[in-house]
Structure 1
Amino acid sequence: MRLTRLVGECDGGECPTIYRTDRGTLAFQGERITDHGIRVPEHEAMVEIPVELIRRTIRDKLI
């Protein structure tokens, strides 16, 4: 899978980021959360990202 960075909280490195994939989907990098009380399959994970990243992605028409 190839990722293209759309928007992030920092210029690079380890911070919340939204990526476009070459599969026509979005990938999110964020803090893994486990205390949500929802049953998540072994092959999936819940991540937390700032709402502002989604706002910026939409505002800047990145998707």
Structure 2
Amino acid sequence: MRLRFLGSTSEAGACPSLYETGRGTIAVQGREVVDHEGRAGLRHVLDGETAVETAVEVPGELLVEIARRVLPDHD
């Protein structure tokens, strides 16, 4: 799988960053969640998923749906 860098809010272009996978998903690069309370708040963790991964792949539609829910309207 090839990743295409989409962007970052980091001045150095490091994490957090988003990448397009070319198969309809987005790879998210970020810092490890090390806080125990934060890890305990994760939902629906499946086999093979951990809170220590530095990059995960998510469907693009998920990002769009979450953005619609949390970002204010700019009309």
Give the TM-score normalised by the residue count of structure 2: 0.45
* Paired position in structure 2 for 1:9: 9
Distance 2:42 2:19 in 1: 27
Structure 1 or 2: larger strand share?
Answer: 1
Moved more, 22-31 or 33-42: 33-42
* Paired position in structure 2 for 1:60: none
Which amino acid is 1:44 matched to?
A: E
Distance 2:27 2:6 in 1: 10
1:12 Cα offset (Å): 3.5
1:22 Cα offset (Å): 1.7
CA contact (8 A) 2:7 2:13 kept: no
For 1:17-56, what aligned pairs fall within 5 Å after superposition?
Answer: 17-33=17-33, 34-45=39-50
1:37 Cα offset (Å): 4.6
Report the RMSD for the aligned CA atoms in angstroms. Answer: 2.6
1:24 Cα offset (Å): 1.8
Unaligned stretches of 5+ residues in structure 1: 48-53, 55-63
**Residue aligned with 2:40, SS:** coil
**Residue aligned with 1:5, SS:** strand
Unaligned stretches of 5+ residues in structure 2: 34-38, 54-66, 68-75
Give the TM-score normalised by the residue count of structure 1: 0.51
Structure 1 or 2: larger helix share?
Answer: 2
